[in-house]
């Protein structure tokens, strides 16, 4: 039991860094990112494969101390897939208890039933071109609130048409805000924007701001 408790109190961290939020509702806001190591998925468009392995073990107290170095209330816990580490649940709670505005970026391949209700969840629905669409857990949709967001990374026109149908089939527009993002270097952002306007979709179009500012690299 003591060994299990010790493991739960530690998390393997790829990086903790301060940057502008590049996506979703808080785009442009100075944010501390806590990137956990490890992910059970291997999406074709993944831009954080460096977080699959490596990293260093940190206890939650050390993580909290690192976060406190920065003068912002906005924290994003991401990965990899952060929920692949059981200790993530406790970290999210401690961040909320400390008064931070906490956002969780998750693949949706792991159940969200243990997440603190104060955490804003950004759930990434996997499209066919990701090669991981079979990992989508539909039961997670019932665990989302109006404060959360659902994201689709669109790689091509087939992905776009599939996403449109998926939203209608699962009535996702009745749950929370929907985000459409072009896969960087795979789909021209203007093309996706034109599709969204042509079909008058009730989605928020977004690009990854941080990549336009600093390029596709860790720590931004």
Task: Answer with the residue of higher pLDDT: 209 or 154.
Answer: 154
To the nearest 10 degrees (0 to 180), the angle between helices 157-170 and 189-198 is 40
Which pLDDT score, from 0 to 100, does residue 218 have?
82
Please state the rounded mean pLDDT for residues 118-126: 98
Over the stretch 2-59, which tens digit does the pLDDT of each residue have? Answer: 444 444 479 999 999 999 999 999 999 999 999 999 999 999 999 999 999 999 999 9
* 193 DSSP 8-state letter: H
Q: Which pTM was predicted? A: 0.92
Beta bridge mates, 205: 180
Domains in the chain with CATH codes: 2-214 (3.20.20.70)
Q: CA distances (Å), 166 to each of 17, 146, 150, 162, in order?
A: 34, 18, 12, 6
> Mean pLDDT in the chain?
94
pLDDT tens per residue across span 51-87: 999 999 999 999 999 999 999 999 999 999 999 999 9
């Amino acid at each position: 039991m003591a060994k299990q408790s010790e493991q739960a109190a530690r998390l393997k961290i790829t990086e903790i860094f301060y940057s502008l939020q590049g996506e979703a509702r808080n785009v442009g806001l100075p944010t501390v990112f806590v990137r956990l190591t490890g992910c059970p998925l291997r999406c074709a468009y993944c831009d954080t494969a460096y977080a699959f392995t490596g990293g260093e073990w940190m206890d939650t107290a050390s993580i909290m101390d690192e976060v406190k170095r920065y003068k912002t209330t906005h924290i994003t816990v991401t990965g990899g897939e952060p929920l692949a580490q059981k200790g993530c649940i406790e970290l999210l709670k401690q961040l909320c208890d400390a008064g931070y505005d906490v956002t969780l970026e998750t693949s949706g391949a792991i159940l969200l039933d243990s997440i603190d209700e104060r955490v804003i969840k950004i759930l990434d629905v996997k499209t066919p071109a990701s090669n991981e669409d079979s990992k989508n857990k539909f039961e997670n949709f019932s665990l989302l609130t109006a404060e959360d967001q659902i994201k689709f990374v669109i790689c091509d026109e087939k992905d776009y048409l599939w996403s449109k149908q998926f939203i209608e089939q699962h009535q996702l527009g009745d749950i929370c805000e929907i985000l459409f993002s072009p896969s960087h270097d795979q789909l021209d952002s203007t093309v996706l924007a034109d599709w969204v306007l042509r079909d008058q979709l009730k989605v928020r179009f977004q690009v990854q701001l941080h990549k336009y500012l600093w390029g596709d690299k860790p720590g931004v």
